Amino acid sequence: MITLSFFSDLFTESFMQRAFLAGVMLGVLAPLIGSIVIIRRLSFIADTLGHFSLVGISLSLFLSYSLGNEIFADRPLFLGIFFSVVGGLLIEIFRRYYKSYKEISMPIVMSLGTAVSAMFFSLSKKTGSLYNYLFGSILTVTDYYIVVIAITMVVVILLYVLFFRQIISVSFEEGNAKFLGINLNFFQLIFIIVLSVVVSMMKMS
Amino acid sequence: MLIDINNLTFAYGHKVVLHDLSLTIKPGDFVVVSGKNGSGKSTLVKCLLGINSVSNGLIFYNHEDINYFKKWTDIGYVPQKFDDFNYEFPITVSEILSVSKLRKTSEALKLKLLDDMGILENMNDSINSLSGGQIQRVFVVRAMLNHPRLLILDEPTASIDRKNVEYFRKTVNRLHAEGVTILLISHEQTLDELDYTHELHLDPSLEYTYKARPLPPPTEEIA
């Protein structure tokens, strides 16, 4: 009767409702972004940004440890998103610097992220609940997570509707973008920022 | 579109490919760029497209320095090679054309261009099912669809077979008659059927000649 209790829990338990809602919204959001990631041959970027967003989480733990309050430890999502975006921008900078071998930007950023987060984790001297921070759990999703995910989903769908022509053109052929009046650098920047936000959210839940 | 090239010199490292090239292309001109492999034809195109950044010499579009030029949408470009696009991307010819439209263009014009280039029946085919020559013609149609003021064609007939080359020539001649400035790069010798007005001949020895096409022999129109 496990399946039955799953459905009854869905109606009675609020944590199940939140988990269900978050799951559905991320299920819509992830393929929207993911398909562009695959087409633009950036598959490795999700893992990289996931590792770099750990910097934000470990910093949250470290700050709450050193400042002695729980504000940061309770809400690691925000610093996580912030550092994921920082990681995305770093990748973009390296991609432009190493023009011929763009993909090496990702291992650089990933090892930097892992190293810095390991540093903050060990400085914060808190190991008990590390597992939750590393992998997240959809069952612990809180109301403000839901709001953040919902806002992101609306923004991504809106960007898709507004820039559908540009997204398809660039996905098919980057070289022609200029003659269609598309600013490729700007496009890439917006894409990386949105992607960073989405990846860090996926990571947390 | 008016193009001014002033003392353009371009080198890859120490290898100079273009040396002190100066010429003016007036609106409505049809320039054929000829020369052997390695004479700098494609390099010149890359300079004109802003892919090679020009540091030695100046290029102006309508009196505007190319380094500050923004209106790239006025230019249509058909590349020589087709390895820059995503072969795996599931998109049909018709869809490529509709996402490449800058403004509302009539469906009739699209169909006419496709018909002119002999690929009307491939309209709903996926791009990766087409042959090299067909893809090239799709890209020619795409470049023409937005009514560019300058059309740059880099070896546009390289992989098109003879019969379709004729379609292509007719279409290019018609665009020229409509007042589009055309720059066509070709290493072929048979250019007679094109209504070009000027020929720029580049030589691997860095010499170049730029001259107007000799006028055709007098016809009865003059008499």
Residues of chain A with pLDDT under 70: 1-3, 73, 126-136, 205
Q: Does B53 touch chain A (CB under 8 A)?
A: no
| Cβ-based contacts of B105 with chain A (< 8 Å) | none
DSSP letters spanning chain A = -HHHHHHHHHHH-HHHHHHHHHHHHHHHHHHHHHHHHHHTT-TTHHHHHHHHHHHHHHHHHHHHHHH--SHHHH-HHHHHHHHHHHHHHHHHHHHHHSSTTGGGHHHHHHHHHHHHHHHHHHHHT--TTHHHHHH--GGG--HHHHHHHHHHHHHHHHHHHHTHHHHHHHHH-GGGGGGGT--HHHHHHHHHHHHHHHHHHHHH-
Write down the pLDDT at residue B199: 82
Contact B77, B152 (CB under 8 A): yes
Q: Report d(CA A106, CA A47) in Å as an integer.
A: 9
Contact B96 A172 (CB under 8 A): yes
Torsion of CA A152, A156, A158, A163, to 10 degrees: 150
| Bridge partners, residue B23, by sequence | B5
Write down the pLDDT at residue B42: 84
Q: Report d(CA A129, CA A136) in Å as an integer.
A: 11
User: What pLDDT, in 10s, does the model give residues A61-83?
Assistant: 888 888 877 777 677 788 888 99
Contact B110, A191 (CB under 8 A): no
Interface confidence: ipTM more than 0.85 = no
Contact A201, A152 (CB under 8 A): yes
Write down the pLDDT at residue A109: 93
| Cβ-based contacts of B49 with chain A (< 8 Å) | 178
Give the pairing type, strands B75-78 and B150-154.
parallel
What three-state secondary structure class fits B139? helix
Q: Report d(CA B137, CA B139) in Å as an integer.
A: 5
* CA nearest neighbour of A59 among A167, A159, A200: A200
Per-residue pLDDT of chain B (223 residues; tens, 9 = 90+): 788 888 888 888 888 888 888 888 888 888 888 888 888 888 888 888 888 888 788 888 888 888 888 888 888 888 877 667 777 788 888 888 888 887 777 788 888 888 888 888 888 888 888 887 788 888 888 888 888 888 888 877 777 777 777 777 888 888 888 888 988 888 766 666 777 888 888 887 777 878 777 766 655 555 4
Buried b (16+ CB within 10 A) or exposed e, A111-139: ebbeebbeebbeebebeeeeeebeebeee
Contact A175 B84 (CB under 8 A): yes
Strands (DSSP E) along chain B, which ranges? 3-12, 15-25, 30-34, 58-61, 64-65, 75-78, 150-154, 181-185, 198-202, 208-212
DSSP letters spanning A45-88 = HHHHHHHHHHHHHHHHHHHHHHH--SHHHH-HHHHHHHHHHHHH
CA dist A112 to A89, A96, B102, Å? Answer: 14, 18, 42
* Chains A–B, number of C-beta pairs less than 8 Å apart: 47
Model confidence, pTM: 0.80
Contact A173 B75 (CB under 8 A): no
Write down the pLDDT at residue B190: 64
Tell me whether residue B14 is exposed, middle or buried, using C-beta atoms within 10 angstroms of its C-beta: 0 to 12, 13 to 18, 19 or more. exposed
| Cβ-based contacts of B79 with chain A (< 8 Å) | 175
What three-state secondary structure class fits B110? helix
Tokens of A141: 């999703």
Contact B85 A181 (CB under 8 A): no
Q: Does A177 touch chain B (CB under 8 A)?
A: no
Sheet of B58-61, strands arranged across: B15-25, B3-12, B58-61, B64-65
Q: Does B100 touch chain A (CB under 8 A)?
A: yes
Contact B99 A165 (CB under 8 A): yes
Residue of chain A with shortest Cα separation from B69: A178
Q: Calculate Rg over the CA atoms of chain A.
A: 19
Ramachandran assignment for B165, one of left (phi > 0), alpha (psi -120 to 50 degrees), beta (any other): alpha
- H or E element at residue B168: helix B162-177
Q: Does A186 touch chain B (CB under 8 A)?
A: no
Of B73, B89, B143, the CB nearest to A39: B89
Amino acid at B58: L
Contact A179 B79 (CB under 8 A): no
What three-state secondary structure class fits B211? strand
| Cβ-based contacts of A185 with chain B (< 8 Å) | none
User: What pLDDT, in 10s, does the model give residues A21-42?
Assistant: 888 999 999 899 998 888 888 8
